[in-house]
């Protein structure tokens, strides 16, 4: 079971809330203070992307964020319900132009979001299918005994 689970309506204004919650849980889990900025940014990118996907396809279900604290790592899963098959290939090729068409904005924000995530997080996995996609990320935690 996830330590904290968050569901939010696919609206841009709630992405900040997801960032704050993720950073707070990560801090408690023992993620290094210096890495919290990365956690905040990565979860924000993943949620922004999920919100964009839901809105572009007109899906009314919420975006899911699962924050899980394990013994040695802290994991975040951001799930969307947008059917997309081309996303995984786009990430694998790390060029990713297929996702651009969905964005109403002219800037390639979606691609840049994935670029930021893959640049920031060492352990990241992006999967996508007919029923939706998930971005899984994890960070090592510092054992409680060595915390100041």
The single residue among 2, 21, 59, 115 that binds other proteins, judged by CB under 8 A, is 115
Residues 40-79 that bind other proteins (CB under 8 A): 40-41, 44-45, 48, 51-52
Q: Residue 137: which of 89, 75, 61 has the closest Cα?
A: 75
**Are 63 and 51 a contacting pair, CB within 8 Å?**
yes
Check residue 130 for interaction with other proteins (CB under 8 A): no
**Which two tokens mark 103?**
């964005």
Q: 103, exposed or middle or buried, with CB in 10 Å at 0-12, 13-18, 19+? A: middle
Which residue, 37 or 125, is less far from other proteins as judged by CB?
Answer: 37
Which residue, 30 or 52, is less far from other proteins as judged by CB?
Answer: 52
The single residue among 13, 71, 104, 130 that binds other proteins, judged by CB under 8 A, is 13
**Nearest distance from residue 17's CB to other proteins, in Å?**
10
Check residue 120 for interaction with other proteins (CB under 8 A): yes
Q: Where are the beta strands (DSSP E) in 70-120?
A: 73-80
Torsion of CA 46, 130, 2, 120, to 10 degrees: -30
**Which two tokens mark 22?**
């993720």
Check residue 133 for interaction with other proteins (CB under 8 A): no
Binding site for other proteins (CB under 8 A): 12-13, 15-16, 19, 37, 40-41, 44-45, 48, 51-52, 105-109, 112-113, 115-116, 119-120
């Amino acid at each position: 079971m996830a330590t904290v689970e968050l569901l939010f309506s696919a609206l841009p204004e709630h992405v900040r809330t997801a960032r704050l919650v993720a950073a707070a849980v990560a801090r408690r889990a023992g993620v290094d203070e210096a890495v919290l900025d990365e956690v905040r940014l990565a979860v924000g990118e993943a949620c922004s992307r999920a919100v964009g996907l839901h809105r572009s396809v007109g899906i009314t279900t919420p975006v899911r964020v699962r924050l899980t604290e394990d013994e040695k790592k802290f994991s975040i899963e951001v799930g969307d319900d947008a059917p997309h098959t081309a996303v995984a290939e786009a990430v694998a090729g790390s060029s990713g132009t297929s996702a651009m068409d969905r964005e109403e904005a002219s800037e390639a924000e979606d691609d840049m979001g994935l670029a930021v995530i893959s640049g920031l997080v060492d352990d990241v996995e992006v999967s996508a299918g007919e029923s939706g996609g998930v971005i899984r990320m994890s960070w090592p935690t510092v054992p409680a005994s060595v915390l100041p």
